[in-house]
Amino acid sequence: MEKLRVAIVGVTGIVGQEFVHALEGHPWFAVTQIAASERSAGKTYAEALSSDPSGIVAWDGSGRIPGYVAGMRIRSIDGLDPSELELVFSAVESGAARDIETRLAADVPVISTSSAYRYEDDVPILIPGINDDHADLLDAQSRNRGWKGWVAPLPNCTTTGLAITLKPLHDSHGARRVVMTSMQALSGAGRSPGVSAMNITDNIVPYIPKEEKKVRIETRKILGTLRDGRIEEADIRVSCTCTRVPVLDGHTESVLVGTDREIDAEAAKRAYGEYGRAVSTAGLPSAPADYFAVHDDPMRPQPRIEREVGDGMTTTIGRIEEDDLLGHGVKYVLFSHNKKMGSAKGAVLLAEMLHKKGKV
């Protein structure tokens, strides 16, 4: 099979670098164009990451910069050639993303990690394995806007773990009310502006701008129903507190869920088991062997351990206990890798799902 030609936009950033990893040797997709800001345009990828005069290489991944991309020249957005592409992966901050993704989607499908388009009525927020059927809205989006392509955003990386773990409980027991506190990794803040070491060392930062509203809105949309060409939001209310903790990669979230129907820990574990065995992503190149890892050991999940599981694509759940504070319900702790399932590799998995559906 001839590989589809793809571009990575924002290729020098934290998520962009993770895309470089996730697409190395990919069986279906070949990276043929890369782009970043005017600061990096014109340089090779290796030069752009080594532009610090002290010789520091801004490569976050393990090992060396992958050979397939090291010598590739970074383009400006204007320098991209959409006529030579089947798909764009976009990983730029949302202010810049709005204009960039609008221009590119006129010609080619765009999968985005930014929030620029997430809240538009004709834009689904997709998590492969959770709401694949919402992808049908992409056709309407292209028609509405007169585009050849579309924009398919992932959720905020904090919503990802929450929506993934709520879905089986929502389907089986009617999840209605959620109280969540997140303990989010430093890498989730990106390089620019990033998090200052002075603020985070020996500390917890109790506020992440705009994060909580994103989680509340996105969860309702993702768990909603696509009907008559629009998404009816799920009847689920979320209260959350999002914090930044001194962990490098991977978000941990403490969750209390109130359900319509009686539920206990064993019923919740059964729901995860049944959902995971039938999940739609099975067999896709970037899908983990286990969509969920559910632990009885009360010391799990822990970021240092879980971030390696399923190459960051498995969502880990532990500490499941019945809790009747909200009526029927359970509480649990989840771990979700913000740079893998929560952004770049999750976006590649989404591309695989959309390719299988014939949309890419």
Ligand X SMILES: NC(=O)c1ccc[n+]([C@@H]2O[C@H](COP(=O)([O-])OP(=O)(O)OC[C@H]3O[C@@H](n4cnc5c(N)ncnc54)[C@H](OP(=O)(O)O)[C@@H]3O)[C@@H](O)[C@H]2O)c1
Q: Is 16 in the site for ligand X (CB under 6 A)?
A: yes
Asked if residues 68 and 33 have their Cβ atoms less than 8 Å apart, the reply is no
Q: How many residues sit in the footprint of ligand X (CB under 6 A)?
A: 31
Our CB check for ligand X shows the closer of 10 and 329 to be 10
Asked if residues 284 and 128 have their Cβ atoms less than 8 Å apart, the reply is yes
Q: Tell me, yes or no, if 134 is annotated catalytic.
A: no
Q: Closest distance between ligand X and the C-beta of residue 154, in Å?
A: 7
Residue with tokens 């670098």: 17
The helix/strand/coil state of 235 is coil
Q: Closest distance between ligand X and the C-beta of residue 147, in Å?
A: 20
Q: Is 347 in the site for ligand X (CB under 6 A)?
A: no
Interface with ligand X in residues 170-209 (CB under 6 A): 187-188, 190-192
Distance CA 100, CA 345 (A): 21
Q: Measure the CA dihedral 204/207/210/211, to 10°.
A: 40
Our CB check for ligand X shows the closer of 319 and 345 to be 345
Our CB check for ligand X shows the closer of 96 and 326 to be 96
Angle at 143 between CA 138 and CA 144, to 5 degrees: 95
Q: Is 316 in the site for ligand X (CB under 6 A)?
A: no
Q: Closest distance between ligand X and the C-beta of residue 253, in Å?
A: 14
E strand or H helix that includes residue 103: helix 94-105
Q: Is 213 in the site for ligand X (CB under 6 A)?
A: no
The helix/strand/coil state of 56 is coil
Q: Closest distance between ligand X and the C-beta of residue 160, in Å?
A: 8
Among 106, 75, 212, 99, which Cα is nearest to 156's? 212
Interface with ligand X in residues 147-166 (CB under 6 A): 157
Question: Of the candidates 7, 23, 110, 113, which one interacts with ligand X according to CB under 6 A?
Answer: 113
Task: Give every strand in the sheet of 29-35, ordered side by side.
Answer: 74-75, 29-35, 4-9, 87-90, 110-112, 151-153
Burial (CB < 10 A; 0-12, 13-18, 19+), residue 264, is middle
Q: Closest distance between ligand X and the C-beta of residue 67, in Å?
A: 20
The helix/strand/coil state of 236 is coil
Interface with ligand X in residues 33-92 (CB under 6 A): 36-37, 39-40, 77, 91-92
Q: Tell me, yes or no, if 173 is annotated catalytic.
A: no
| Catalytic position from the list 21, 170, 173, 251 | 251
Q: Is 4 in the site for ligand X (CB under 6 A)?
A: no
| Catalytic position from the list 157, 170, 240, 295 | 157
Positions marked catalytic? 157, 251
Applying CB under 6 A, which residues contact ligand X? 10-16, 36-37, 39-40, 77, 91-94, 96-97, 100, 113-114, 157, 187-188, 190-192, 338-339, 342-343
